[in-house]
Amino acid sequence: GNSVTQMEGPVTLSEEAFLTINCTYTATGYPSLFWYVQYPGEGLQLLLKATKADDKGSNKGFEATYRKETTSFHLEKGSVQVSDSAVYFCALYLPSGGSYIPTFGRGTSLIVHP
Amino acid sequence: GAGVSQTPSNKVTEKGKYVELRCDPISGHTALYWYRQSLGQGPEFLIYFQGTGAADDSGLPNDRFFAVRPEGSVSTLKIQRTERGDSAVYLCASSQTSGGLTDTQYFGPGTRLTVL
């Protein structure tokens, strides 16, 4: 079956530190890969996505590159801010019944201290 | 504009009872999704509607779970004979058209269901 594995959290960093949140996947077929963010008290929001191998998704200073050879989609940011504190979910999408249904990882909590 | 809304925000019920959870999607969005998120886990797909019809209900765990969307907008997730294992946050999302990869899903804040 399809699955997504994320590094366990919480990840605790100081402001302006470099962030990496690891995500690897197992899938039948060729998935598209997404990162979602959930800020405290809010719903999930799409952060970035990549639909084919070697694509790089980017948004708000975050980046992730679709690596087919290592089945990975690691999230990175060069300098985190306190406002980046949230839970981050990696997800893969595969076609199903005319739509694309996601399989989510369990989420990684990020805590950024001033 | 208004986002996806879900009511109630919290629901506490007793084992064996029936519950209904409501989702109001963004106006004009034809695709609607339900997910379940257990503690410490990511969202798990339950069912997807395109308009009024359920296009994919492969994620519903058993026949105690049922969802409707009679007019193609508001959707209700119905759970019969609730069990303690049904306790979770139930998320709804909507997207503009056909649910393709270019079609961003917008998530609601969720309904936290607790079955005692």
Q: Tell me, letter by letter, the H, E, C secondary structure of B8-41.
A: CCEEEECCCCCEEEEEECCCCCCEEEEEEECCCC
Calpha distance B109→B29 (Å, rounded): 17
Which of B42, B99, B52, B104 has its CA nearest to residue B76? B52
Q: Name the strand (E) or helix (H) holding A59.
A: strand A56-59
Report the range of poorest mean pLDDT among A30-34, A79-83, A104-108: A30-34
DSSP annotation of A45? E
Closest in A46, A103, A106 to B40, CB measured: A106
Rounded to a whole number, what is the distance in Å from the CA of B15 to chain A's nearest CA? 27
Q: What length is written for chain B?
A: 116
Which of A59, A69, A71, A63 has its CA nearest to residue A31? A71
Closest in B3, B42, B98 to A99, CB measured: B98
CA distances (Å), origin B106, targets A25, B17, B29, B89, B112: 23, 30, 10, 16, 18
Closest in B3, B101, B108 to A93, CB measured: B101
Rounded to a whole number, what is the distance in Å from the CA of A99 to chain B's nearest CA? 5
Q: Name the strand (E) or helix (H) holding A86.
A: strand A86-96
Q: Rounded mean pLDDT of A4-28?
A: 95
Instruction: Select the residue from B45, B96, B103 to test the A interface by mutation, using most A Cβ atoms within 10 A.
Output: B45
Rounded to a whole number, what is the distance in Å from the CA of A88 to chain B's nearest CA? 10
A9 Cβ partners below 8 Å, 6+ apart? A87, A107, A108, A109, A110
B96 at interface of A, judged by CB pairs closer than 8 A: no
Closest in A49, A102, A106 to B45, CB measured: A102
Minimum Cα–Cα distance from A51: chain B residue = B101
pLDDT string in tens for chain B (116-residue length): 579 999 999 999 999 999 999 999 999 999 999 999 998 899 999 999 989 998 889 899 999 999 999 999 999 999 999 999 999 999 999 988 765 666 788 999 999 999 99
Q: A21-53: per-residue pLDDT in tens?
A: 999 999 988 899 999 999 988 889 999 999 999
